Chain A
């Protein structure tokens, strides 16, 4: 049994979907009835719309119900153009996809600025407007009567029979799902997940949260538009009642049922919806009640839909039959001890030339609280500048202002010659600032390798088109990514955990991973926010080695830390903050004996100091 499982594991994951896809295309020759063929066509169309929702809801984390409006756009445009302009299926599919993309962009931009409810509501509103707009454009759409007289589809001038039309629909569906699969298994997929779970992290990695969300939402419009174009030819008749709110909820139900955070979940969900509820005529009457109950139950219980359940089952089976490959590598202390012994060799980094961080008169006020009152300091490349001070002295506020999370009330921040005062977080990141967080941020369900590789998303960007088409450029970066993350992971001593789930690792390991992630950004300035807190002696030792290696590589390191011993050991210069003011500045030896530091920060009288 074990050997069978291992044999199965060796088959690439794309083989099964591909086989099913071919089966879907070849279905007419396998003796399916006309009814089944029609159901499959409708399932494909619903699956296309649903996959658009999966992309924005499941991956980018924005609930947007606007796909129905884009679907209607595609359908009416195709219907009208086929009757009055040119009847070519492929051309109209492209036109519809572009039109849907435009509708997606226009309706997405305002809602996405706030995200969350705003987008959900604007998109919901858009759906509600569909019948009114159809009515308004009665001359072209036929208004409430519907659009009648759409011709038989043609492809390159050849009329399509129902069987060939079916094949075209199936092929388009398979192509779209391939596109989607290639997109979400590339770095963009990881970027989407980072975005969904932590916009804070995403922007610190140089990802523009707004742009990427808009991209996901707008991309989700494309399959909806395509589906609309295909739907226009199914009955050759379009009625405004098809595109109402019920359609929007059906799509949402299909997405959640199949699992919004999966590629093929949309297909499964759509197939079940078409074969089950949507086929029965009694359903219409109870549709809302059933959908309502379903959404409540699904929203509370089955977070990842059927695809999520299947994934969990596969994991369990793997753990059962394939003991060599631990499903979750949390433990394994022997191995990690063995590996870490390799770390007694000093880690050596390639050159990472830094840039001077210069802060002038930085001030920040929260309501009545002066968090920072005009702080000036510089951090030089190739040096470790430590920032210490009691709790609430403004250390993290300062980091957050450098990173662009807070607006600057007064003062300037420069990286080298670049002024980053008031820049947005992702712009600061692109200017070469990388940071770690007090609480390490790792999205769930992402492997260590992927989590670290997320740091390379912006610095070494690969376009979506190259990723979707798997161009040579894509494969080159995949190899380069793998090599670089492996090197960095080896450097921080966790390369044996590359395939473990990052979020499930112990705190110490996650802190090291954060440093690793920051390193693959190849930063000019590295900000470490309480990176040693919660670590044991060995881990601190390992971390100290690593930070020294980063300094040796030439990077500007800013260390915010409470571990005074570690600070004295590591830092080249120390700046001390108290109540938002810089109270002392100097070498470790000077700071160690500075009277105000002793009283304000360490809270000791002179004689209490060892």
Chain B
């Protein structure tokens, strides 16, 4: 049971990345390569707030949300807004991701920095026959709650419906009086803030390291591929699946295998069910 708990905990982090991808996907029908880097930045800000500045809990969350939200805002203006089309965005957001990686490395260096728990503690408890630390448990519960809230919001609130309308047909939404640009920007910044405020939850599990971004980016993408583009519950389940595959293959096959097995899962999903478990096919229109 212990590897299952740890798989779910790391899976929660991947699910969070996947949710970030999905929010931007719904708002722009494009892919923000740099989202995982935003999350990494949140983790580093948490490190700074807790270890260096020793801020109180509420201020730590505030600092993380504000800092990463601001970076997301800047990213939208320099890397998303000036270009059109998912293909061009791949290049520019990859650029943003690389840039954030580089900046992180310049500021904090290459070593692995331990992030102390902000909520809960690193002491472990025994749950259903496996051991899990309090921070991990908090992380798993938080992700489930966040996914639930976002799903509810997107289906019930007017803003959420407007977002869905926008994802379906941007021009039609525009004609319906939806301020597409502002709404999309709002969603983008929200994704950034979310990446920021979850930093204190994620940090103790992943630690702060400059290679975190690219590792999370790929696992998050696999989570989206499993769950289907745009589906929030799909992202959650996809994230947990990736986490479990990783932790169980590490347990049974050896430490070289987790990433390779996740890659195999990705290839299988793309071959067998390219739309993901919860995605739907859209027919091409001439």
Contacts and interface: CB of A to CB of B under 8 A. Distances in A.
B34 to A, nearest CB: 9
Given A117-B86, A288-B101, A396 B286 contact: yes
A111 B270 contact: yes
A388 interface: no
B130 interface: no
B260 interface: yes
Interface in B227-286: 256, 259-260, 263, 266-267, 270-271, 274, 283-286
A299 B263 contact: no
Contacts of B218: 121, 124-125, 128
Contacts of A117: 31, 86, 90, 221
Contact of B91 (A113, A125, A295, A437): A295
A350 to B, nearest CB: 29
Interface stretch (A130-138, A475-483, A511-519): A130-138
Contacts of B206: none
Nearest to A201: B286
Given A116-B86, A300-B82, A438-B286, A286 B106 contact: yes
B89 to A, nearest CB: 8
Interface string A285-322: 11111111111111110000000000000000000000
A366 B221 CA distance: 30
B97 A292 contact: yes
Given A299-B92, A405-B284, A407-B283, A110 B270 contact: yes
Interface majority SS (helix, strand, loop, mixed), chain A: helix
B185 interface: no
A400 B286 contact: yes
A118 B221 CA distance: 9
B91 A287 contact: no
Given A291-B102, A407-B283, A113 B271 contact: yes
Interface string A54-67: 00000001010000
Given A111-B270, A133-B260, A135-B256, A292 B214 contact: no
A292 B101 contact: yes
Given A61-B87, A292-B97, A299-B83, A122 B270 contact: yes
Given A111-B270, A300-B83, A118 B225 contact: yes
A256 interface: yes
A287 B259 contact: no
Contacts of A300: 78-79, 82-83, 88, 92
A135 B274 CA distance: 30
A291 B90 contact: no
B87 to A, nearest CB: 7
B96 interface: yes
B181 interface: no
Contacts of A118: 225, 270, 274
Contacts of A287: 102
A405 B283 CA distance: 8
A19 to B, nearest CB: 33
Interface in A102-119: 109-111, 113-114, 116-118
Contacts of A61: 87
Contact of B98 (A121, A295, A298): A295
B103 interface: yes
Q: Which of B95, B221, B263, B270 has the most CB of A within 10 A?
A: B95
A430 B78 CA distance: 45
Interface string B100-111: 111101100000
A382 B180 CA distance: 51
A18 interface: no
Q: Which of A110, A249, A291 has the most CB of B within 10 A?
A: A110
B55 interface: no
A245 interface: yes
A101 interface: no
Contact of A113 (B99, B217, B274): B274
A129 B259 contact: yes
A245 B214 contact: yes
A597 B97 CA distance: 60
B23 to A, nearest CB: 15
B92 A288 contact: no
Nearest to B225: A118
Contacts of B256: 132, 135-136
A182 to B, nearest CB: 27
A121 B90 CA distance: 10
Interface of A: 61, 63, 109-111, 113-114, 116-118, 120-122, 124-126, 128-129, 132-133, 135-136, 200, 245, 249, 252, 256, 285-300, 366, 396, 400, 403, 405-407, 437-438
Interface of B: 31, 78-79, 82-83, 86-88, 90-92, 94-103, 105-106, 214-215, 217-218, 221-222, 225, 256, 259-260, 263, 266-267, 270-271, 274, 283-286
29 contacts: A110-B266, A110-B270, A113-B271, A116-B90, A117-B221, A122-B263, A122-B267, A125-B266, A128-B215, A132-B259, A135-B256, A200-B284, A249-B98, A290-B102, A291-B95, A291-B102, A295-B91, A295-B98, A296-B92, A296-B95, A299-B79, A299-B88, A299-B91, A299-B92, A300-B78, A300-B88, A400-B285, A406-B284, A407-B283
